[in-house]
Amino acid sequence: MHGTMDQAHDAHLKAAHEAAYATPLEKFDPGHPELFRSDSFWPWFERLRREDPVHYCRDSMFGPYWSITRYNDIMSVETNHTVFSSEASLGGITIRDAPSDLRRPMFIAMDQPKHGPQRKTVAPMFTPTHLDQLAGVIRERAGQVLDALPHNETFDWVDRVSIELTTQMLATLFDFPWDDRRKLTHWSDVATTLPTSAEHEARRQAELMECATYFGRLWKERMAAPPKQDLLSMMAHSDATRDMDPQTFLGNLVLLIVGGNDTTRNTMTGSVYALNKFPDQYRKLRADPALIDSMVPEVIRWQTPLAHMRRTALSDIEFGGKQIKKGDKVVMWYVSGNRDDEVIDNPDALVIDRARPRQHLSFGFGIHRCVGLRLAELQLKIVWEEILKRFDHIEVVDEPKRVYSSFVKGYETLPVRIAA
């Protein structure tokens, strides 16, 4: 990365640091999406981890909420299902409460006993045997996409590589009509975008209904046909999911689309950005491509594609010396826990040969741990194997444009250049 670009970014972080340390803790609102769009949130969480790891924000665009910022505290919330609920009807899994008439159940936003059987339905997609079958397809497509990239000119990595490869994968998982595959990316973005006005929200909901209608057609076809190895067919032929009401149907679709799209796509972009930020690690990787195996989980930690998950307290509890009340919104900041230096050594650095690179929170923990995490790792591993075969260096030429969201920690664009 260019020295001037790094200097500008360092100056930006210094200003963010000053702002975070000059603001009284009771005025902290670390979940404001602008902090994420401008990549300024780091010092806010650093200060909370040190001074107020279980923090209450009284007033924000999302209403009052608790922030849990240390690794071990996040684990405690994540594994305490009797007190901390994921239920959609209570507000679900994000800091923003969906309007009550639009709360869509999905298995990630369900508590036991409903959660297990629905999750089990899609689990066979991610068995080692099935992943082995998918690996060949992933490698062939990665090769095609990388071979088509221009040399000696600037292009957008997000659009040309990250979106294209993750969308192709999703189309395969759903056995979705190939020529319409970019609809999947679009619906994923629509589902995770923060509405800025009532009109915007109405437009979002109309587009999500289009998604439901489109998938409803495919669903009928799959139900009428013998069972196959795709997510829709698995759900259509399973007792736990075949009779979902329309809201749960759309909820689970959105979950699988966002889960398969946002996380992998933003880590695919984040990996190129991270290796440019840590050129010594990029050199190390080129010298020893076997390090891809530990680089992949390390990049997933460093990037943290979903900044948080949220729970709702089902009863009063004393936690970290604070009184959390029944009904309170509790936000587990994965992005902060993944930088907790009491648990992870030198956490701000990308270290591609870490001894325990899978010690991170990016996939969640406990019963809600990401069902597709092995597929996400496999995609990234294969893409980097294919990149290293082809290109000596992918150069990031400017700072990325980031998403306005404190949930999806993502990139809209990343301008890069590959020398011939």
- Using DSSP bridges, classify how beta strands 308-313 and 154-156 pair: parallel, antiparallel or unpaired: unpaired
Domain count, the chain: 1
Average pLDDT value for residue range 7-27:
91
Q: How confident is the model at residue 332 (pLDDT cuts 50, 70, 90)?
A: very high
Q: How much is the average pLDDT of 383-401?
A: 96
Read off the pLDDT band of 225 (50, 70, 90): very high
Give the pLDDT band of residue 214 (cuts 50, 70, 90). Answer: very high
How far is CA 345 from its chain centroid? Answer: 23
- The C-alpha angle 86, 348, 37, rounded to 5 degrees, equals 60
Give residues with Cβ within 8 angstroms of 30, minimum separation 6.
41, 44, 45, 48, 55, 57, 67, 69, 333, 406
What sections of 148-230 are H helices per DSSP? Answer: 157, 164-174, 182-192, 198-224
| Domain span holding position 154 | 3-418
Longest dimension (CA), the chain: 63
Q: Find all residues with CB under 8 Å of 184, minimum gap 6, and list them.
A: 167, 170, 171, 174, 176, 257, 261
Token duo for residue 61 = 């665009």
- Torsions phi, psi of 196, nearest 5? -100, -10
Predicted pLDDT of residue 250 = 79
Strand (E) or helix (H) holding 377 = helix 373-390
Q: Say which CATH number the domain at 124 has.
A: 1.10.630.10
Helices and strands counted in the chain (H then E): 16, 12
pLDDT confidence band for 205 (50 / 70 / 90): confident
State yes or no: pLDDT of 154 exceeds 80: yes
**The dihedral sign for the CA sequence 15, 39, 281, 286:** negative
CA–chain centroid gap for 298, Å, is 15
**Confidence check: pLDDT of 194 > 90:** no
What confidence score (pLDDT) does residue 337 get? Answer: 98
pLDDT beyond 90 at 159: yes
Q: Nearest-5° angle of CA 157, CA 159, CA 161? A: 55
Q: 6 falls in which pLDDT band (50, 70, 90)?
A: confident
Supply the pLDDT for residue 349: 97
Q: pLDDT tens across 260-289, in order?
A: 777 788 999 999 999 999 999 999 999 999
CA distance to 289, 311, 332, per residue, from 372 (Å): 24, 21, 20
**β-strand pairing of 329-333 with 65-68:** parallel
* pLDDT score for 106: 63
Q: How many CA atoms lie within 13 A of 300 on its CB side?
A: 28
For residue 375, pLDDT beyond 90: no
- Which pLDDT tens digit goes with each residue over 111-149? 677 767 767 777 777 788 888 888 998 999 999 999 999
Residue 103: band (very low, low, confident or very high) from pLDDT cuts 50, 70, 90: low
**For the ranges 107-116, 205-214, 271-280, 376-385, the one whose mean pLDDT is highest:** 271-280
Query: What are the C-alpha distances in Å from 368 to residues 232, 266, 364, 373, 395?
Result: 21, 20, 7, 11, 36
Contacts of residue 147, Cβ cutoff 8 Å, sequence gap at least 6: 390
Region 283-307 average pLDDT: 97
The residue-averaged pLDDT of 239-264 equals 80
Predicted pLDDT of residue 101: 58
DSSP 243: T
pLDDT at 152 > cutoff 60: yes
pLDDT value at position 89?
A: 84
What global pTM score does this model have?
A: 0.91
**Could you read off the pLDDT of 181-193 as tens digits, one per residue?**
999 988 888 887 8
Residue 54 has pLDDT above 60, yes or no: yes
Task: State residue 58's pLDDT score.
Answer: 97
Give the type of residue at 108.
Answer: I
